[in-house]
Amino acid sequence: MDSAKVSLKEMQKQEFEILCEFDRICKIYNLTYYLTAGTLLGAIRHKGFIPWDDDIDVVMPFEDYKRFSKICQKKLAKNYFFQSWKTEKNYPFHFVKIRKNGTTDGVTFLKKIKMHHGIYIDIFPLEKCPKTDWFAKLLFKTVEFTTYALLKKGDKTFHYNFQKKYEQVIFSLLKWLPRKILLFFREQIRFLVFIFCSNERLCTSGGGHGYPYETYKAEWFSETVLVWFEGKKFPAPKGWDALLTHMYGEYHILPPKAERKGHIE
């Protein structure tokens, strides 16, 4: 399925089917997850997709995420593909995706990387986050810069306009490191956070909103509630109002028309 010939509605339909497959596996194996980010906002404000949105985001508590990553590779329906940096060599991100075979997602900045490019949903681990801002920022920056360096490994033409000189210097050094060292460095920082930090503050360090918008109070996820999304109920964190306010501000107000854009170019 060529994404250039697929309407937004068709893409949303395909993504919803992937979400239902993901939900099926989670129910069978009693795995916890929540709608998050724009998908959660769409569920609350529109009872489904934000009309111009073109992706689905979910988040899982870290232990459930690890279990799911093992289960999914064996139990996922055959017309889907479980994508992670462990299952596909050139995949640059630390979170995982479920992609649909025979489709194309249309994400142009990744198109030169040799990997599966099917329509997808993003699945993020809900990880511990350092209480101190400098340590939390270090975690987010480590994930960000190592991911950019891995993108450069897969696509020599990849370029990012860093705003600060020190960022340009760090990236210029990291991009020459072997892929295995970049992955090791990224995973070790995340492992240290997991070992030494408490569960009071949580985060999704690889998301598109970045720090501090993807840091959360653990109490927001203390209970699960069900919300409507495209005619079906899905789990959301009980603290969804605080989460959405933290991430988007006055989320009930529609953005200006010029800002009503999805992620896909």
- pLDDT per residue as tens digits for the range 228-249: 999 999 999 999 999 999 999 9
Q: In which band, very low, low, confident or very high, does the pLDDT at 265 lie, cut at 50, 70 and 90?
A: low
**b/e per residue 232-256 (b: at least 16 CB within 10 A):** eebebbebbeebbebbbeebeeeee
How far apart CA 244 and CA 144 sit, in angstroms, is 23
Under 8 Å between Cβ of 202 and 126:
yes
How far apart CA 35 and CA 42 sit, in angstroms, is 10
Prediction pTM value:
0.94
Structure tokens at 174: 């990291």
Q: In which band, very low, low, confident or very high, does the pLDDT at 5 lie, cut at 50, 70 and 90?
A: low
Q: Of 88, 90, 84, 87, give the one whose Cα is nearest residue 153.
A: 90
DSSP reduced 3-state for 70 = helix
Given a cut of 80, whether residue 221 has pLDDT beyond it is yes
Measured CA angle at 35 (ends 114, 257), to 5 deg:
80
